[in-house]
Structures are given as structure tokens and as C-alpha cells.
Chains A and B, each alone.
Chain A
Amino acid sequence: MTHRDRIAEPWGTRTPYGPGEPWPVRVDTYLAPGITAGQVDRWVPTASILHSNGDAMEIAVKDGRMAGVRGLARDRVNRGRLGPKDLFGWQANASPDRLTRPLVREGGRLVECDWDTAMDRVVARTRELLQTQGPSAIGFYTTGQLFAEEYYTLGVIAHGGIGTNHVDGNTRLCTATAAAALKESFACDGQPGSYADIDHAEVIALFGHNMAETQSVLWMRVLDRLAGPRPPTVICVDPRMTPVARAAAVHLAPRPGTNVALMNGLLHEVIGNGWIDREYIDRHVVGFEELSERVKEYPPERAEEICDVPAERIREAARLLGGARRLFSTVLQGFYQSHQATAAAVQVNNLHLVRGMLGRPGCGVLQMNGQPTAQNTRECGADGDLPGFRNWSNDEHVKDLARVWNLDPVRIPHYSPPTHAMQMIRYVEEGSIRLLWISGTNPAVSLPELRRIRSVLSQERLLLVVQDLFLTETAQLADVVLPAATWGEKTGTFTNADRTVHLSEKAVEPPGEARPDLDIFLDYARRLGLADMDGQPLVKWHDAESAFEAWKECSRGRPCDYTGITYDKLRERGGIQWPCNEEHPDGTERLYADGGFWSDPGYCESYGRDLVTGAPLEPAEYKAMNPSGKAVVKAAGYLPPHEQPSGDFPYVLTTGRTLFHFHTRAKTARAPQLQAAAPEVWVECSARDAAAGGLGEGDLVEVRTARGSVRARLRISGIRDGVLFLPFHYGYWDTGAGHEPDGAGRAANELTLTDWDPPSKQPLFKTAAAALRLVEAAGGPSPAPTGTASAPVTDGVPPTTGGPDARAEEALVPSPDETFSPAADKTPGPAPEETFSPSSSGGVR
């Protein structure tokens, strides 16, 4: 047993292992000062809610309060490990500034009231709007941090009860492209691969995915492989010198906004050299000819011209991708939040399809999620999809959903794709949405072009309802504020990026009158009197477990089939991957084994969209293109980004996150170790750009775009020339101004432009044209962390450490096989009996 400063050493001790071996166990624990494991009253199982990895853990309860956390050794996701956010983030629950009573706006000020007053105000306005304008006046914007039970209930209320098409989650900002790319290629959402593919992979390619910071425990798994015998080769695509780039054999750092050209260059080499699985393509794929024609236009020299990446480096990467016998790829925000997001992410799927690298150990692609419960918003119908991956343009699917809900199908809006978040903001702006209910998210910091967002949300004609833990920037603009219970204070399930479902149980009581989000939604449905076709209550459940049972029924026979999962089974076994049903009682590790896809026209979730225009394909078009349910390879040409650097704004600004914070810091800023590790906003530029501008480490600089400006201290980092970086976590709630800048801006989204990827509707946060100028020479180094992508390239910057308060325990377990034996992960080689084939499940047709 050792103790380590997990701010200074975020990934902890290495436990090396070789290909096909099980990942060794290492149990990480952090308890409040003065508490020992022996003093803990109860350990309550849950999983992480501060990133998408889904690390399984237990909350230590002492005298009715949270006193720490430890990783769950037996869980398939993390084998006991925890990341810095997991170890320290729980402390935010007990912050003294939690919301404990509802608030309503009276005479321009928010004043405390009781639940009846707050809910009656929301319900009365809902009724009034339904009578005068109808459901189109009401919108719901939720998060990626609630539980499946809550999303499902919200989806039923919004789609089935109120009948509005305006429902989305903030997963739109981080994961909409993951879903869109999967729907384009496989006609269905849901990750094909498994985290355990890291144990088997020969080449691991990370496309715009700074895994070391976004999913630190998964990165520990890669580091452990790299430290073991016969390590994999890592390929990194990222304009910054991230920890991933430092570990990579090949680092491609393209100009922001040129991912499609780079991917086409790589595919040009892979296809041109015949590094493809012709038999797989012939049997399981449509669209290959078009792709191979299209990528002929992108020899590495042309890609070099567009991306500013040496052609030889592209060839080298392509050789590795084309030669790998077990290729594992992941994709995240570097692609999703950039120009031509879906088109670029789809090319990664294409790479795996032309190489036949799917459905076997080590051969997987994960279109990653950014938020912990992003997958659930998508499954349960709270982010602009219908629940159970039903297809809004397939009348039979809508009819089936109406059967589950006991409604007339006409009550479920499906005349067009559900409204995405950015369009909802537009409808609020032009006045047709008059009630917007925001739960668990903070658009006044997280959406692009904040001046516009603040002005839209503070309109008089809008009733803004905000349900959250703290008085966020958004809550300060609200007319009704509902205090919510959070992780550890309520029960529910959530699903990570590799389809692993965890149960998170209530450990402590919420503060004051704060209530679980599920209870708030149930209360709303009851007060509105929402009824089904027989006049019975539409929402027939009353707590988390009964909501889960209802959701299971809704998922029956669909790809995300939960019918084989119960709360008891999750308690007993830990994480289980869907689909889990009678045929697959232990869950399903990898999808699409042997080319069995869920893309049959009658079964599939989506017919896809045009990669440039975003126009949905009509059912007949899809049937003509893919009559027999194969995977779809879609080609895409490169288009220049909509905002390009110019004389006044010579840089490209990208934004992103740091290892130590999550979302808009609502929780992480209230965890002392995390806040101290990254206390202030900073801006990064390259050494050459700094020298050209006469700037030094720590100088106070101003970054400006056509939309606003931000002041921050400069970190000279390994970012590519011509590119600036700002972390997006920092807002105003902990400044004097409260919800908006008081003088110089601090939030990165003051600067970003309102533009989104047409197929996925995901906003672009990585391609604004910006200027940089000196405000004041340094008084010391920038506050940016030193062990992450913002590592300094100049001398004299003291390393980021956490000191004694950040020391967590690590217990290495020498013989992992005695500790756990999850059925899904133990086999090193291909194991057909454990893989999933939809044709044998009765799932298709």
C-alpha cells in the first residue's frame, strides 16, 4: 500500500501487463482527513459522475455524511482505480452554498419559497401556454449528468404528455456527433467496442481524444499496456502536445478544422495500398466504391497542403493503421467540436469497416462520450431521440412507442427531427418558445457566444425554470429555481461510453429541501394531470426502481435492451454491458461480431443524414441504398471552415478541458484539491508565436474575436503554431459580477461562434478566428497545470502539486485473477460464444 499525491501524479502507479492478459487490480482510496477505513459506517456503491468513463466506486458514509471514496476492485471498467476528479470531487456535495429551498423571481429578485409555490408557478404557466399556443411553446433542455430513470421520465412527460418536440440534452455539446457518426455508419447508436479492447490492441489510435485528461482511468489502462511486454503503438491526432501525443509513436497535429482532409489522406493510403479486407467489404458494407473514388482526390501531399501535416508523417500513420492486426480507435471532441464533425468521425468508422476491424477483441471503435450519462440521454429519449433507439421517421416505431405508453400515436410528435438545443435557443430568441426548463446544465457558460445566450435567456417574455445544485450563472437568470439532489443523494442507473450500466445508490440525505430530479419530474406530471388513452396517469411509476422497470419494458427488443438487468443484479455483479436480455444474461461485450448490424430498414434507429447539408434521408432513399442491412460507408469531401484566420484575427482559437475540472466547474471548483490544481483561466500559444509577439510565460494577455474578449495569463505550451487554446470551464459565479463579465471576460465561450455541424447539430468550439495582445507583462508564471496538455515548454515554472491534502491511497493486488473473474473479459483471443450476433438474438426484424 502506498500514498501518492494524485494531483502531481494524476495517473498513479503503473501496473504493467501484456497483450491478452487481464488488467491488474489497483484500489484507490481517498478519505477525509482523520478518517480511516475502519471508522466508516457504510460503503455505498456508485460510479463516477464527473466524466464519461464510468469508474465504479463506493462512497464512504460516516455519521450520515460522505467521508470519502474508494474504487471497486471487481468492476470491469476501472479495476479499482479512480482519477483525480473521482477522488476529490465528492466533497462538493457538502458545499455550504448548495441550494436548499426553491426560489422564485419577485420584483426582479430571486426569493425563497416552498415547493408548492414554485411548482404551481411552473404548472400554471405550462397550462396557460398549452391553451394559447400549444406544445410548441414549451422546451426542455437537460444534461448528461442525470440518471436513466430521470431521462426516461422526462422524455415521457415531454414527448408523450405535453407533446412537444423540443427536448434536448447538453450532450449536444459533447456527444451529439458520437451518436450521429454511429447512426451514419451503423444506422444505430451504441458503441461497437469495449474498453477491454485496450488489453488486446496492437495499434491504438486516438483521434482528437485527449484520453489522459478526459478519461484518466482509461488512460491508466493504456499506460499500463505501454509499460508491459509487447506494448501497443499509439497514434495521436491533436493540435496540442497532450500527454497522449507525448506517448505516441506518431503525432499528427493538423490545422484546426481540417480533420476530414487528414482522414481522407489516411484512407487514401490505406485503400490505395490495398490494406483492406475485401471479403468483409463485399459481404458487409455498402458505399465502398464511392469512398475509394473520393479519397483518390486526397493524396498525402494534398492533405499536407490543407492540414499542414508532413505527407511523410501521414504515410507513416497510414502504414501503422493499415498494418495493424488488432486496431482500436477512439474519437472525441477534437473531431466532434470541430468543423465537419460528423464527416470526420464517420471516416474513423470507415477505416474500421474497410479493414474489417470490428467485433473482435482489440478491434473496436469507440465514438466516445464527454459526459457521464450521455448514453442515457440518447437511449431514453431526452436528447432529441425517441426512447429505445426508435426511428422518428419510421411510423411503425412511433406506433410501437405509443403502445408502450398507451397513447394515440398522433400525440407523439414525429413530423420532423426533434429540435436540437441550438435551435431551441433560436426559438426562444424569436419568441416561439415561452417556457424553457433547464435541468442540470449551465448554458450561460457552456453554449457558444455567451453575450447572445445571456440576452436570449434574460428575455421578459420567457419563463426560465432552472433545476440545479447551485446558483449557477444560468440559475441567476431564472424565474423559478428548483433545488436538486445529486449523485450520492439519490438512486438510479447510468451507462458509460462502452455501454456498461452501473447502479448508483443513495448514500446520504440531500441538503435542506433539495429533491431528486426524478421526484421533481414526477411531481410536475402529477400536478399537470398527464393521462394516457384510458384516462390513467401517463407516468405510472413512483420511484427509481419502478422507473427503471418501466424503461426496461420500453427497451425490450431494441438494440439497447435492458430487460435482463435488475437493480439486484447490478448490486451483485457491478457493471453490465447492454444489450442484456434472456439470450445474453451476462450482457454483451462487443457489437457487430461477424458483420451482424442493426441497420435493417425496418429495425434501424436512423436512415442517416447528408454529411454536408444535414438533410435527413427519406425512408425510400435508405431502403434503396441499404436494402439488406449492411454497414454504410459514407464519403465526404473537405470544405474550408466557416471562420478562417485573417489580418485582424490571425489565430485559430480552440477550447477544451483540463484534467482537473468538469463542465462549468459547478462541483470541481468546490473540491479544494481540484480547484487549487487549476484555479484560473489561462491561454496557450506556441513558443514561436510567443516570440513573434514579444510575449513571455505568465504575461496577462487579451484574446479577442469578433464576438468578445477574454483576459488570461499566457502559458507557452507545445500547441501548434498559429493556434490558441482556452479551457472552457471558467465562468463568473465565483467572481463579483455573478453571471456575466465585470470588465474583462473570463469564459472561453465569450469568443466562440454560433455555428454547428449540420448532421449532428453539435456546436463548433474549435475554429474561431482570434487576435492576441499583451495587456501586462508577467508577475509570475501562468496558473495552468504543468502535468497535462498545458505543460510549459519554458523553464522556471514550478510543477503543479497537491501537497499532503491530495495524497490518496493505492493498494496493489498482486494476483488479480483471485479478485475478480468477469465473464466478459477473461479470454485473450476471439471468443465467438461471448460475442453478440443480432441475427441470433431475435433483435433484427
Chain B
Amino acid sequence: MKIGLLLHELHRDENDLAHELLRVSERHQADHEVHYVARDLARWSQQHVRDLSAAGERFGARLDPEPVDELKTAERLRDKAGELVGRRSHAALLLLRDLREVYIKASGVSVDWEMLGQAAQGLKDTELLETVQRCHPDSLRQIRWANGKLKESSTQILVS
């Protein structure tokens, strides 16, 4: 059974997405909605990491239940630059790039959940299916958030 492999990959990608969202939050402190909402959304991925760890045990996958947390000091310092350049217009382009990255990473995660859901149905594993049904909508909302912010910001950033 290859579910363990998928769980590994999803666990890694959710951690990666949480980390990305925290970085985006740090880099765009002057864009307050991005700053705060990205942190709230990172929390969802962190919870998914815990859920996946619990699910993994039943499929022989040993996954760390502890999600990535706040950024390390070095990363913070580097991203402090984001705050300092918050009044310069090229920071806005950086925002579009970062939202695009969240969109892509969350889309990857969503596809993984989709596959896991199919597998759970094949196995008639209701517990795993419940986990998928609880977590997958969060990924879809993360995608829609990135997409919505991109739509809202692109015009102003690209034409001015």
C-alpha cells in the first residue's frame, strides 16, 4: 500500500505551506490584512500536520506531530526587510509573487488531499475519510484567499 508515501508527502507539503504562510505574514507587515490572515491560515495547516501524524500511525508512517512554528530569528531578520521596504512600490510586486506562491503550494496540498480522499474511499476507511473531509475544505479556502487577494491587488499594482 502506498498510502504511507502520500501521507509523508502531504505532511511535508502542509508543513511547507504553513511555513510559507508565516513567511508571507512576516514579509508583508505593512499589508495588514495579508499579515494577519496569513498567520490565521498557517494555523489550519499546522492543525493538518497534527491530524496527518495521527492518521499516519495507522498506516505505519511515523510523522512528527509538531508543526513548524514561528520563524527562526535569522529568517525574521531577513524578512524584517519586508517591513522596511513596505513603502516602496516594488514591495507590491513582491506581494503578488508571494501570493502566487501560496496559491500554488495550497493547490498542491489540495490535490494531495483529493488523492487521499479517493484512497480512503477505496479502503472504506471512514476515519481517514473524515480527516480528509475536515481538512480538505481548509486547503480550498487557502487557495481562494490567495486567488481573491491576487485579483484584488493585481490591477492597482500592475497599472500604477
**A residues bordering B, Cβ < 8 Å?**
133-134, 136-137, 165, 415-417, 419, 422-423, 426-427, 429-432, 610, 612-616, 639, 642, 754-756, 758, 761
Contacts and interface: CB of A to CB of B under 8 A. Distances in A.
16 contacts: A165-B155, A416-B151, A416-B155, A422-B32, A429-B86, A430-B89, A430-B92, A431-B89, A610-B145, A613-B145, A613-B148, A615-B144, A616-B148, A642-B36, A642-B39, A758-B33
B156 A613 contact: no
B87 A136 contact: no
B51 interface: no
Contact of B159 (A134, A419, A429, A642): A134
A430 B145 contact: no
Nearest to A166: B156
Interface residues of B, number: 30
B148 A615 contact: yes
Contacts of B32: 422, 426, 754-756
Top 8 closest pairs, chain A to chain B, by CB: A615-B148, A613-B145, A432-B160, A615-B144, A416-B152, A615-B145, A754-B32, A136-B160
A432 B37 contact: no
A756 B37 CA distance: 10
B151 A415 contact: yes
A609 to B, nearest CB: 8
Contact of A429 (B30, B147, B148): B30
Contacts of B157: 432
A610 B151 CA distance: 15
A832 to B, nearest CB: 41
Contacts of A427: 156
A415 B155 contact: yes
Nearest to A616: B148
Interface in B57-87: 86-87
A615 B141 contact: yes
Nearest to A132: B160
Contacts of A613: 37, 40-41, 141-142, 144-145, 148
B41 A426 contact: no
B87 A610 contact: no
Nearest to B31: A426
Contacts of B148: 613-616
A182 B92 CA distance: 33
A614 B160 contact: no
A134 B92 CA distance: 18
A754 B36 CA distance: 10
Contacts of A415: 151, 155
B88 interface: yes
B51 to A, nearest CB: 15
Contact of B37 (A165, A429, A614): A614
A547 B128 CA distance: 62
Interface string B85-100: 0111101100000000
A810 to B, nearest CB: 48
Contacts of A616: 148
Contact of A758 (B37, B43, B160): B37
A833 to B, nearest CB: 44
Most buried by B among A613, A639, A755: A613
A197 B157 CA distance: 48
A165 B156 CA distance: 10
Most buried by A among B30, B39, B144: B144
Contacts of B144: 610, 613, 615
A432 B156 contact: yes
Contacts of A432: 89, 92, 156-157, 160
Most buried by B among A136, A427, A610, A615: A615
Contact of A136 (B40, B145, B149, B156): B156
A491 B155 CA distance: 38
A415 B150 CA distance: 12
A385 to B, nearest CB: 15
Contacts of A429: 30, 86-87
Contacts of A422: 32-33
A804 to B, nearest CB: 50
Contacts of B33: 422-423, 614, 756, 758, 761
A823 B39 CA distance: 53
Contacts of B88: 430
A290 to B, nearest CB: 10
A659 to B, nearest CB: 32
B148 to A, nearest CB: 4
B36 to A, nearest CB: 5
A427 B152 CA distance: 12
Nearest to B158: A136
A136 B155 contact: yes
A819 B18 CA distance: 66
A762 to B, nearest CB: 12
Contact of A417 (B86, B89, B147, B152): B152
Given A432-B92, A639-B43, A755-B32, 4 more contacts: A133-B160, A613-B145, A613-B148, A761-B33
Contacts of B89: 430-432
